[in-house]
């Protein structure tokens, strides 16, 4: 079973990129972030024609998450813990597989910049809610994958130039501490379970030739419950897509489960 995550950075602008990825990589499940459209504007027909069911939690102009699955899925929208939060940043699905089921979430964690504003307080509060919800999900003792754009650089090896990010909300000590708290609930970072290498990135800014100079960061993660981690075969960063014409600034990360 292949499960992938990708911040597509506007699903309508990247529809051809997306359809090509579905055809070439053919993941069983694909979590998308930053759709930048309402549900009604999502390219339903194209996705269904490609052989996928789509569950969408959209928002006009920004945010938006989705889960695409070859199999029919049961869906829950929104992260518990704050009924007043209207940001479309979390969607969760139960995906049938091999006589059982896998629970998958697509996450678009807040950026949090500038860190001296309410945006950073919102990021930290959102992470606290995610930690609380993850505790609830882990108690179910089932295969669970929390996948998405976390907007977190976990460690210095996850960015080409750590000094450039020292005061950024993605790399501040409070951000990394909360990410560690989440992982330490009993989750496994799929990439780091398979390699300790530095220089593995999932995002390259559009500015200053970041892609050409490989000045990237790793902020797209798949966190696995013990029941999913036991089945992890490999993790792949589909880096080549960043070299496409008019690409997303993120690339997909894909895991294979036995």
Furthest CA-CA distance within the chain: 49
111 is in an annotated binding site: no
Nearest-angstrom CA–CA distance, 53 and 47: 7
250 is in an annotated binding site: yes
Cα–chain-centroid distance for residue 179?
14
Q: What is the enclosing helix (H) or strand (E) of 23?
A: helix 15-24
Q: 9: which 2 tokens? A: 């950075």
DSSP state letters, 127-164? HHHHHHHHHHHHTT-S-EEEEEE-----SGGGBS-GGG
Among candidate residues 21, 108, 120, 201, the one labeled active-site is: 108
Among candidate residues 149, 158, 168, 220, the one labeled active-site is: 149
Cα angle 15, 28, 57 (rounded to 5 degrees) comes to: 55
Q: Is 230 a catalytic residue?
A: no
Nearest-angstrom CA–CA distance, 76 and 69: 14
7 is in an annotated binding site: yes
Q: Is 39 a catalytic residue?
A: no
- Sheet with 53-57, strands from edge to edge, namely 53-57, 65-69, 29-33, 2-7, 253-257, 232-237
34 is in an annotated binding site: yes
Q: What is the enclosing helix (H) or strand (E) of 48?
A: helix 44-49
Q: Is 17 a catalytic residue?
A: no
118 is in an annotated binding site: no
CA distances, 103 to each of 76, 91, 147, 172 (Å) = 11, 11, 11, 30
151 is in an annotated binding site: yes
Nearest-angstrom CA–CA distance, 76 and 105: 9
| Catalytic residue IDs | 108, 149, 250
Binding-site residues, in ranges, read: 7, 34, 149, 151, 249-250
Binding-site residues for Mg(2+), in ranges, read: 7, 34, 149, 151, 249-250
């Amino acid at each position: 079973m292949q499960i992938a995550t990708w911040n597509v950075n506007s699903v309508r602008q990247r529809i051809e990129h997306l359809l090509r990825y579905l055809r070439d990589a053919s993941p069983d499940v694909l979590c998308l972030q930053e759709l930048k459209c309402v549900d009604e504007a999502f390219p339903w027909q194209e996705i269904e024609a490609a052989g996928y069911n789509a569950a969408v939690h959209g928002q006009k102009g920004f945010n938006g998450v989705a889960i695409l699955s070859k199999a029919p899925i049961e869906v829950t929208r929104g992260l518990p813990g704050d009924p007043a939060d209207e940001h479309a940043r979390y969607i969760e699905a139960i995906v049938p597989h091999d006589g059982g089921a896998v629970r998958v979430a697509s996450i678009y964690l807040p950026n949090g910049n500038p860190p001296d504003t309410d945006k950073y307080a919102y990021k930290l509060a959102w992470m606290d809610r995610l930690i609380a919800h993850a505790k609830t999900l882990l108690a179910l003792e089932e295969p669970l994958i929390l996948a998405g754009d976390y907007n977190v650089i976990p460690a210095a090896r996850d960015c080409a130039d750590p000094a450039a990010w020292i005061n950024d909300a993605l790399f501040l000590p409070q951000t990394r501490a909360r990410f560690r708290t989440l992982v330490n609930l009993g989750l496994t970072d799929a990439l780091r379970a398979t390699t300790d290498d530095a220089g593995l990135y999932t995002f390259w800014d559009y500015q200053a030739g970041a892609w050409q100079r490989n000045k990237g960061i790793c902020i797209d993660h798949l966190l696995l419950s013990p029941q999913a981690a036991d089945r992890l075969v490999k993790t792949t960063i589909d880096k080549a897509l960043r070299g496409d014409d008019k690409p997303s600034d993120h690339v997909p990360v894909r895991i294979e489960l036995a």
